[in-house]
Every structure is written in C-alpha cells, then in structure tokens.
Amino acid sequence: MGSEDDGIFHQYLHKDHLGSKVALTDETGNVTAAMRYDVWGQRQDPRPQFCSEPTSCPLSPNRNWIQWANEEAPDWISNSLPEAMLAITPRGFTGHEHLDELGVIHMNGRIYDPFLARFLQADPFTEDSSTLNRYTYVHNSPLVYHDPSGYISVSSLLRTAASIAISVYTGGLANKTWTLFGSTIAANNAAATIAIGGAVSGAVASGTWEGAKWGAISGLLSYNVGQAIGEVDWTSGDFAGSGMSGAQFAAKSVGHGLAGGVVSHMQGGRFGHGFASAGVGAAVSPYAYGGEGGNHFSRGMLVAIAGGGASSLSGGKFANGAVSAAMAYAFNSMSSAGSGSSGRSNSETSIGFNFETEGLERFQLAVDEFGIEEMFKEILPAGEHVIDVRIDASINEMSYRGSAILVNPDFVSNRPLNIVASSIGHELIHVDDYMRGRLNFYDEASRRRSEHRAYSWQSTTASHFRLPIPYRNRLMDRIREHASP
C-alpha cells in the first residue's frame, strides 16, 4: 500500500509457486512492476523484448532474457519494471532478500549464491544422507522445492511425509466397506483403490503427473507381488511372526525389492536404489509390529524410515526410498487383506481343512454338523482357502499360528461337538484377521483385538451352536478381559 497526495492507493505483490516475488499490480490489476529469476535465483530482465541481440543474452541465447549476475545493477534495470519493484521490496527469489551489490541472496540461516547455485556456508543439518554435499541448494531441485530457513527444505520434507501418509492411509481404506449416499461400496476392486492411492501419493511426492503415473504403477506392482506370494502353496511356518515360512518371507522381500527396482529403473533411477528400499522395507515390516499400541499408520512410518535408510545406504535418496517402502508395505497389506468385510456374500470363496495327522475326524464332523464352512464363506477374504490343522498337545484347547489352526486332540475328542465347533469358529476369526493383515502374533494389541472379536463372534452365534449357559457366561468374561483398555 502506498500513499499519494490525493489519497491512498493499493499495490499488490504477487508471487509464484516457490514464493518468489514476480509482479506488482495496481488496484485495477495492471502490472506496474515485475521481476524474474532463472531457476537458481539469478535476476533476469522481465521484459523479453528488451534483449534484441542474442549475443547480449549469453546465458539463455535462445530466449530474449538478460541475466543480472554478481554485479551492480545493469543498465537495463534503470527505468524498467524491476526498478519500480526494487523500490518497494528487496525480496525476490523464494521471498528472500537479494543483496544485489554482492550478487547473493540472504536466506536467513545461510547466504546463497545464485550464480554458483550453492550456499556459501555448509548446512549444519544433515537432512538427507544421500545429499552429502552440504552446500547444495534444495537437493538440486530448485523448481520444486525452496528453502525458507536456509537450512532445510521444509517443502521437501512435508511432501515426503504427506506421500508416505497417503500410501499408508490408502492401504487401510481397502480393508473397509463404505456407505456413500445410502449405497454400500465394498472395496472389492482393490486394484482401483491401490492405483488411485498410489497415484495421489506419487503426485504429492513429486509434484508432477509423471510422479502420479509411477506412483500408481508402483502401488499395483506391490499389490500383485503380495498376492502372488500369498497364493503360492508354501511350507507353513511363522518366520519372525509373519505367519510365513522363511522361504516365503524371503521371496516376499525379494519380490518387493524387484518391483521397487524395476520402478526405479523405469523412472530413470538406479535399479539398486529401488530394490534396496522396497526390499528392506518388506523385510523389516514384521518387526515393525513390535510394541504396545502400534497401529497400521505407525508401522507404515517405521517401514518408511527403514526403506529410506536402505536407499541412502545404497546411494539413493532417502525420500524416494521411504515413499517406495511405504507403498510396498501399505499396498502389500491390502493384498493380504483381500476385499470387502464382514457380511459380504461371496460365492467365489471356498474353505477346506488340511489335516496333517489322523485322529481329527471329530474336527471335520463339527465343521459339517454346524455348517462352519458356509458361515465362513461370508467372512473370510475371497479366494480358495485350505486351512492347515495341526495337533499340538501342549496347548489348552485350540490356538492359531498365522493361517493354521492348532488343536489339542483331547479337546477335540472329548468335548461336546457344539463346543468344538464354536471353538473352530473362534480360531477362524483369528485366521480371518491374519489374512486381512490385522493380526500379528508378536503384537499384543493386535492379538487382544482379535481375541475380543473372536469371543464376541462366539457370543453372537451362541444360539446357533446351542452353547450352554456356563459357557456363554464365560465368553462374557473373556470379552471383558480382551476389551480395549
């Protein structure tokens, strides 16, 4: 705002997407002054018509721009658009103060030389271990990021964090069924959900449509790797609480690494960087379940940090690795989670039991007598499920390991058939939670939630199984014990 003898007039400073001051307009919108900078912040004459001879435009010979670099104000500044603006503000590139006589920009924390495209002091913060040169400006990406403090690229950090958050959050969305304007939207088209989530995440991370495209591809690759690994008939096991055998777990990690490497390579990066970040992220994901109160979001963040670190160690960028690992984690979880939720009618689901030893005929009898398979066709994720049933005399009644059910043979042989059947259903609820990525054996909070759900299921189906009064009351005790604190 300025003042004239005859009153008050307003002027408006305009800035571009990086916060650089680029134009001054009057109250009617006419441009009264302008500034222009090259990508690294050197001043340019904003009037393209001024440079009539290409030889006088050495830094941009094909365009009619004149550079103002590291010297006193050139002749063209006089009586030109920049002069009017300089009279109002010394601030220019990314909103920082230009010291034109010295040819540098004061970025508060440090002094930046737009001619060298480097800071004149070292960065005291190692924001990104891939950027070992502490004099670089915003990771050499001046069109995307800016440095408000002179120390770190806040925009870069925010973009990375937002991208990871979107990936992880989208992973959680696919496990749910939504109601919109009275219509139920089952997330049975997980691929579409993943593609959208990956695209948004990629777009936020890179700020480009190209990034959105690669985000969608990366998400779909991670999802398909998770599905492919899950469909293979592996030797059962529970490596690191993942519910997979060691071979399956290794294949999963390598599969995600390959997917990450391919995407990195197709984007013009190095295969090794993508392989390291996605592979390590997948490998550490079971360990991210540790700790009370851990949730899908916090685990995703831990996996992202691990992936980012792996990328840095392999010479890549931390941010890229973190985003890749977060995508692999979130969208792989979705592939495990399957589609839809409870109450879904699913004619494509089949359930069978694989008895590793004889002597469990009564187990199958209970399943048949009470229609367990039909009940759980509506509950388990779509697909063909063959549940391993193993004998383990050390457990009390029944238990689970990943997608396998462990049974005490005495329990199955001697207890009433309705109790056995209801207990089988209890364990299948755990299997369902495991298949949907909601249960990890080493995560106490997830175990408690699953027990709460399983005992609740037994209570609500008590009349179907004709459970006796003492049993129903005991179930209520168990529900209370496993309720959220």
Q: Taking CB under 8 A as the criterion, which residues in 154-173 touch another protein?
A: none
Looking at 305-313, 327-335, 362-370, 462-470, which segment touches another protein (CB under 8 A)? 462-470
Question: For residues 294 and 168, is the Cβ–Cβ distance under 8 A?
Answer: no
Residue in 364, 5, 332, 15 with CA at minimum distance from that of residue 198: 332
Looking at 96-104, 199-207, 227-235, 475-483, which segment touches another protein (CB under 8 A)? 475-483
Rounded Cα distance between 313 and 324, Å, is 15
Minimum CB distance to another protein, residue 332 (Å): 22
In three-state secondary structure terms, 264 is helix
Which member of 110, 139, 159, 453 binds another protein (CB under 8 A)? 453
Going through 11-167 in order, the beta strands assigned E by DSSP cover: 12-15, 21-25, 31-34, 36-37, 43-44, 67-68, 97-99, 104-106, 111-113, 118-119
- Would you say 84 or 417 has its CB closer to another protein? 417
Which member of 117, 157, 382, 462 binds another protein (CB under 8 A)? 462
Rounded Cα distance between 124 and 147, Å, is 14
Q: Does 472 bind another protein (CB under 8 A)?
A: yes
Looking at 56-64, 181-189, 218-226, 460-468, which segment touches another protein (CB under 8 A)? 460-468
Q: Does 137 bind another protein (CB under 8 A)?
A: no
**Amino acid making up residue 141:** S
Q: Taking CB under 8 A as the criterion, which residues in 68-97 touch another protein?
A: none
Q: Does 186 bind another protein (CB under 8 A)?
A: no
Rounded Cα distance between 413 and 420, Å, is 9
- Would you say 227 or 461 has its CB closer to another protein? 461
31-34 vs 67-68, strand pairing mode: unpaired
Q: Taking CB under 8 A as the criterion, which residues in 314-343 touch another protein?
A: 342-343
Which DSSP letter does residue 96 get? P
- Would you say 36 or 362 has its CB closer to another protein? 362
How many residues sit close enough to another protein to count as binding (CB under 8 A)?
Answer: 23
Rg of the chain, C-alpha, whole Å: 31
Which member of 182, 293, 470, 485 binds another protein (CB under 8 A)? 470
Minimum CB distance to another protein, residue 372 (Å): 13
- Would you say 280 or 421 has its CB closer to another protein? 421
Rounded Cα distance between 447 and 289, Å, is 11
Which DSSP letter does residue 11 get? -
Location of structure tokens 């919108």: 29
Sequence-ordered list of residues with C-beta below 8 angstroms from that of 206, at least 6 positions apart, any chain: 144, 212, 214, 215
Q: Does 111 bind another protein (CB under 8 A)?
A: no
Q: Taking CB under 8 A as the criterion, which residues in 359-418 touch another protein?
A: 378-379, 410, 414
Looking at 192-200, 206-214, 385-393, 465-473, which segment touches another protein (CB under 8 A)? 465-473
Q: Which residues bind another protein (CB under 8 A)?
A: 342-343, 378-379, 410, 414, 452-453, 455-457, 459-462, 468-470, 472-473, 476, 479-480
